[in-house]
Amino acid sequence: LALAVALLGSPDLLLLDEPTAGLDPEQRLRFRSLVSRASNRPTVVLSTHQTEDITALCDRVIVLDGGSIRFDGSPEGLTESASGRVWIGDEPDGRAVLSWRMGGGRHRHIGDPPVDAELTQPSIDDAYLLMVHGTRAHRGAAA
Nearby residues of 11 by Cβ (< 8 Å), 6 or more positions away: 42
Q: What is the pLDDT of residue 87?
A: 98
Q: What is the pLDDT of residue 139?
A: 41
CB 87 within 8 A of CB 77: no
Q: What is the pLDDT of residue 135?
A: 58
| Residue 38: other Cβ atoms inside 10 A | 15
Digitized pLDDT (tens) for each residue of the chain, 143 residues in all: 777 777 777 778 888 888 888 889 999 998 888 877 765 667 888 888 888 888 888 889 999 888 899 999 999 999 999 999 999 999 999 999 999 999 999 999 999 999 999 999 999 999 999 998 875 554 444 33
Task: Quote the pTM value.
Answer: 0.81
